Amino acid sequence: MIKLKNTKSIILIILLFLTTNCSNNSAMKPEDFKNKEPRLIIENYLSGNVKAWGVLQNRSGKVTRQFSADLNGQWDGKKLILDEKFDWDDGEVQTRQWQITKIDENNYEGTAGDVVGKAKGFSYGSAFKFEYVLLVPVKGREIKITFDDWIFKQDDRVAINRATMTKFGFKVAELTVVFVKD
């Protein structure tokens, strides 16, 4: 009888761990930033030329790759077309074109060739949150990685981006990017 109780306790602890670890509910919400300045209006900030530098860290925090990037956005009053070119430190060059549609003052939807379905964007005050699933090439195949992407405007020129990348609810990597607008 005692072994059964211990087994149930162990199973309960494991389930509790998995439930809290796999939860995608961040304690931080976009609305937390609604009164923060300077205000980040993503279609304005990413219009024109923006330069970026970033580091990719594995789940234990080790920097595994670095990059510089050139972004160029065109806003037509409803949709932002954002061309991105990443130059990775290992010689790889990646490009992506986002089409980001403004739904209302706080909500956006985005698509790109390597994004599964639609990205959801939320804009409040100085912060922009973007949630999406990206097809990431790994050893000759593509795997789906979920991005929880936050951009925080610092001033008229500088914004900082932090993205957590997960698979099955477990963190697999983090990305830190600094944007500087021309």
Q: Which residue has the tokens 């990205």?
A: 119
Residue 72 lies in a domain: yes
Q: Residue 57 contacts by C-beta under 8 Å, 6 or more apart in sequence?
A: 63, 64, 173, 174, 175, 176
Residue 52 domain-assigned? yes
Q: For residue 64, is it within any domain?
A: yes
State residue 27 phi and psi, 5-degree precision.
Answer: -65, -25
- Calculate the CA 163 to chain-centre distance: 4
Domain containing residue 126: CATH number: 2.40.128.20
Q: Note the pLDDT of residue 138.
A: 85
pLDDT of residue 14: 57
| Residue 65 · residue 55 · CB < 8 Å | yes
Its domain, for residue 134, covers 28-181
CA 178 to chain centroid, in Å, comes to: 13
pLDDT above 50 for 172: yes
Residue 8 lies in a domain: no
How many degrees, rounded to 5, is the angle at CA 81 between CA 93 and CA 42? 100
Closest by Cα among 164, 162, 165 to 176: 162
pLDDT of residue 163: 97
| pLDDT of 1 higher than 50 | no
Reduced to 3 states, what is the DSSP secondary structure of residue 24? coil
pLDDT band at 2 (very low <50, low <70, confident <90, very high): very low
pLDDT tens string 3-34? 445 666 565 555 545 544 444 455 899 999 99
Q: For the whole model, what pTM was predicted?
A: 0.84
Q: Does 6 reside within a domain?
A: no
Rounded to a whole number, what is the distance in angstroms from the first to the last CA of the chain?
70
Is 33 part of a structural domain of the chain? yes
Within a domain: residue 21? no
pLDDT of amino acid 5? 54
Distance, in Å, from the CA atom of 52 to the CA atom of 70, rounded to the nearest integer, reads 6
C-alpha–C-alpha distance, residues 113 and 118, integer Å: 11
Q: What is the pLDDT of residue 32?
A: 95
Residue 129 has pLDDT above 90, yes or no: yes
How many structural domains does the chain have?
Answer: 1
pLDDT at site 26: 52
In a domain, 14, yes or no: no
More confident residue, 21 or 101: 101
pLDDT digits (tens, 9 = 90+) for 70-98: 999 999 999 999 999 999 999 999 999 99
> In this predicted structure, what is the pLDDT of residue 25?
52
Tell me the mean pLDDT in the region 113-137. 97
Long-range contacts of 140-145 (CB under 8 A, 24+ apart): 142/114, 143/167, 144/116, 145/172, 145/173
Contacts of 41 (CB under 8 A, 6+ apart): 123
Residue 31 is inside which H or E element, if any?
none
